[in-house]
Structure formats: structure tokens, C-alpha cells
């Protein structure tokens, strides 16, 4: 794969009718072997992008490659697994039948189908429910069967649209572990989600999509680097000389005073600590702090609404037609 990218798409445009510009020039790179998270508020265009990659929706314009081939190439799609959003498996089938049905569509013969379904039912924790009908399943169980059918062709790349939708916290943890397990086996995992804390726990890299464009893309570490600072809590009120320090702000409450020191290097706070200790001030706590993915997301969404043009953003007119 060129540059190690399993997905390397450029210039993706899609409008529904005249007024809905779902994708307005998306560039996205996903590296082989990583867990990649595509984040964005409702209506940002996440599902449209995945549907285009799966050829469920026809793009107005699309460049680049998936698995080294043109997007939509059947040989590439044969190596991709897909969990659609709002999937609706026939309710009269059992979980096992859903998996075997999808396996049959990939051209697998009866015996391997059976073995594959057995293996996947165990893997997603649905063994005991395998022969019950889908209509008796909870949302979490449906998602587990959805994951199992996405893995039936032992894909190199799996595209999961909101995989933990409706799943309780224990189930979510199990799905996270499963996804990390898949990555450790060499699979590339692409997740669409708006559950930020969740992606923070599993993703190697993320892209934040706002109004049909990618506002930011990178490792969570890189994206939050600029926000790194230290917080230092001291007993009582702050000494007067703190006011004159350029990179320090403070806030007092009944527990003491919280100092915020801008900058990511620990060197920056040593002199401050020495000075406070020389005055016999009690330091209650020192900790490095950085933005959470949630803070980053909020910033991208807020700024994205007002002509945001951060890294990866594509600037154009509001219509954004190709």
C-alpha cells in the first residue's frame, strides 16, 4: 500500500439534491494496522463517507485509493468488512443465520460458513444466543451480531458505523477489547462515532468532521499538544508576585489557589516551585494537563461553524459543489 495508507481518499464530494452538501471536499488517510476514529456531530457526513467507500452511495466526485485500488473496486471490497448504521437484519433469522447468510454472499461454502459462524459467535459473546431469533435480541446483542457479520470474510479493513450504538458500558468495554484484538491481529479498524471518550480509549488517530469537511486529523497526542499546561495547587492565597508572571493565571477557592502555567515543558515550573517553597508555601498538587478529545471536538465544531480552516480543512464557498 502506498505510504502505508489503507485508505487514502481525496476530494470526496456528495450532495443530495440541490441543498444538502453532505461532503464538501474530504481528504482522509487511514494507515494500515491502526484503529482510526472518524468523529463528528450528527449530520456531519460520516456515514455518507463510509457508504461511498462501500459503494452504497454514489459520490459526485472522489479521488484516491482504498487497499491500493480505486474506491469501489470489487477486489478491494472483497477484503473489507462493514457494519452499517441502523442495520436491520431480518427479524425471523437467528444470529447464526445472519452470519451464515452474509458468509454465503461472500461465496463461502457450507462447512467453512458453519465454522466461521461458530468462531465469530464465540468471539462476540453471542454463543448462548446463537439460535435465538434476531427479534428477541437487545440493541447490544444486535450490534454484536453486526460486528460478527462484518468479520465473516476475515477482512483486512473493517468499517464500523457507530459500533457501540445502544450498547451498555460493559458491552462497550468488551467491544473495545475486541477491536484492539483485531488490530493486534493486523486488521485496520475504521470507526464512525460521536462517543468521544470511547474513541479516545481505542483510536491511534482520529479525524474530526464538521459540515462535510475534515477539520482536524492526527493522533490525539498531536492534536492536543498545543493545549498542554501544568496545574499547581497551593495552600491559601497566592503571593502578590504571581500577578507579574506572564504565563501564569490563577483561581482561588476554599481549597487554596490553583495556578495554571502555560507551556508543556516541566522546566518552566521549577523556578516557580523553588520560589513558592522558599516562602514556605505548601504545594498540594502538581499535574500536567491537556485538552480531552471532547474539548478538541467542541472547538472543532464551534470554530467549524464559522469558516474554520484548521489543518486538513478545505476552504471553499458554502455550496462547495465540485
Ligand X SMILES: Nc1ncnc2c1ncn2[C@@H]1O[C@H](COP(=O)(O)OP(=O)(O)OP(=O)(O)O)[C@@H](O)[C@H]1O
Rounded Cα distance, 150 and 163, in Å: 11
Contact letters for Mg ion, residues 18-47 (x by CB under 5 A): ----------------------------xx
CB neighbours of 306 closer than 8 A, spacing ≥ 6?
none
**Residue count at the site for ligand X (CB under 6 A)?**
13
Say whether residue 289 binds ligand X (CB under 6 A): no
Say whether residue 239 binds ligand X (CB under 6 A): no
If the CB atoms of residues 120 and 199 are measured against Mg ion, the closer one turns out to be 199
If the CB atoms of residues 16 and 222 are measured against ligand X, the closer one turns out to be 16
Taking CA 163 as the corner, what is the angle to CA 161 and CA 166, rounded to the nearest 5 degrees? 120
Q: Which of 42, 88, 111, 244: binder of ligand X (CB under 6 A)?
A: 42
Sign of torsion over alpha carbons 14, 17, 18, 21: negative
If the CB atoms of residues 94 and 192 are measured against ligand X, the closer one turns out to be 192
Residues numbered 57 to 96 that lie near Mg ion (CB under 5 A) are: 85
Say whether residue 46 binds ligand X (CB under 6 A): yes
Q: Which of 16, 58, 70, 90: binder of ligand X (CB under 6 A)?
A: 16
The DSSP output letter for 69 is B
- Options 35-43, 170-178, 215-223, 267-275: segment touching ligand X (CB under 6 A): 35-43
If the CB atoms of residues 14 and 46 are measured against Mg ion, the closer one turns out to be 46
Residue ranges of E strands in 79-132: 80-83
Q: What angle do helix axes 139-150 and 110-123 make, rounded to 10 degrees? A: 130
Q: Which of 26, 39, 44, 216: binder of ligand X (CB under 6 A)?
A: 44
User: What DSSP letter does each residue of 222-262 carry, written as one string?
Assistant: HHHGGG-EEEEEESSSPPGGGGG-TTEEEEEETTEEEEEEE
Q: Which of 114, 123, 183, 194: binder of ligand X (CB under 6 A)?
A: 194
Number of other CB atoms surrounding residue 177 within 10 Å: 11
Interacting partner of 16 out of ligand X, Mg ion, none (Cβ under 5 to 8 A depending on kind): ligand X
Report helix, strand or coil for 116.
Answer: helix
Bridge partners of 259, per DSSP, are 232, 250
Q: Which of 25, 37, 45, 140: binder of ligand X (CB under 6 A)?
A: 45
Rounded Cα distance, 15 and 17, in Å: 6
If the CB atoms of residues 3 and 42 are measured against ligand X, the closer one turns out to be 42
Residue numbers at the binding site for ligand X (CB under 6 A): 16, 20, 22, 40, 42-48, 85, 194
Amino acid at each position: 500500500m502506498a505510504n502505508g495508507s489503507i485508505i487514502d481518499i481525496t476530494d470526496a464530494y456528495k450532495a443530495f439534491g440541490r441543498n444538502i452538501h453532505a461532503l464538501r471536499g474530504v481528504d482522509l488517510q487511514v494507515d494500515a494496522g491502526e484503529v482510526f476514529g472518524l468523529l463528528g456531530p450528527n449530520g456531519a457526513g460520516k456515514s455518507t463517507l463510509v457508504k461511498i467507500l462501500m459503494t452504497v452511495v454514489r459520490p459526485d466526485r472522489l479521488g484516491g485509493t482504498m487497499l491500493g485500488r480505486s474506491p469501489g473496486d470489487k477486489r478491494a471490497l472483497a477484503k473489507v468488512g462493514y457494519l452499517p448504521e441502523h442495520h436491520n437484519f431480518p427479524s425471523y433469522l437467528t444470529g447464526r443465520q445472519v452470519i451464515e447468510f452474509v458468509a454465503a454472499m461472500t461465496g463461502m461454502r457450507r462447512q467453512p460458513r458453519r465454522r466461521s459462524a461458530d468462531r465469530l459467535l464465540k468471539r462476540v459473546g453471542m454463543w448462548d444466543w446463537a439460535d435465538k431469533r434476531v427479534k428477541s435480541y437487545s440493541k447490544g446483542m444486535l450490534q454484536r451480531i453486526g460486528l460478527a457479520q462484518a468479520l465473516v470474510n476475515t477482512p483486512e479493513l473493517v468499517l464500523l458505523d457507530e459500533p457501540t450504538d445502544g450498547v451498555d458500558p460493559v458491552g462497550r468495554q468488551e467491544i473495545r477489547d475486541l477491536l484492539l484484538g483485531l488490530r493486534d491481529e493486523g486488521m485496520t479498524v475504521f470507526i464512525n462515532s460521536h462517543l468521544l471518550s470511547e474513541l479516545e480509549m481505542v483510536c491511534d488517530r482520529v479525524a474530526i468532521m464538521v459540515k462535510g469537511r475534515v477539520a482536524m486529523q492526527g493522533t490525539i497526542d498531536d492534536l492536543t499538544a498545543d493545549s498542554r499546561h501544568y496545574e499547581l495547587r497551593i495552600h491559601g492565597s497566592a503571593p502578590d508576585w504571581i500577578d507579574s508572571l506572564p504565563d501564569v493565571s490563577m483561581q482561588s477557592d476554599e481549597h487554596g489557589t490553583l495556578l495554571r502555567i502555560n507551556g508543556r515543558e516541566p522546566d518552566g515550573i521549577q523556578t516557580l516551585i523553588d520560589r513558592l517553597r522558599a516562602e514556605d508555601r505548601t504545594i498540594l498538587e502538581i499535574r500536567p494537563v491537556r485538552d480531552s478529545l471532547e474539548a478538541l471536538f467542541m472547538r472543532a465544531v464551534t470554530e467549524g461553524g464559522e469558516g474554520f480552516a484548521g489543518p486538513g480543512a478545505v476552504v471553499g464557498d458554502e455550496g462547495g459543489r465540485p
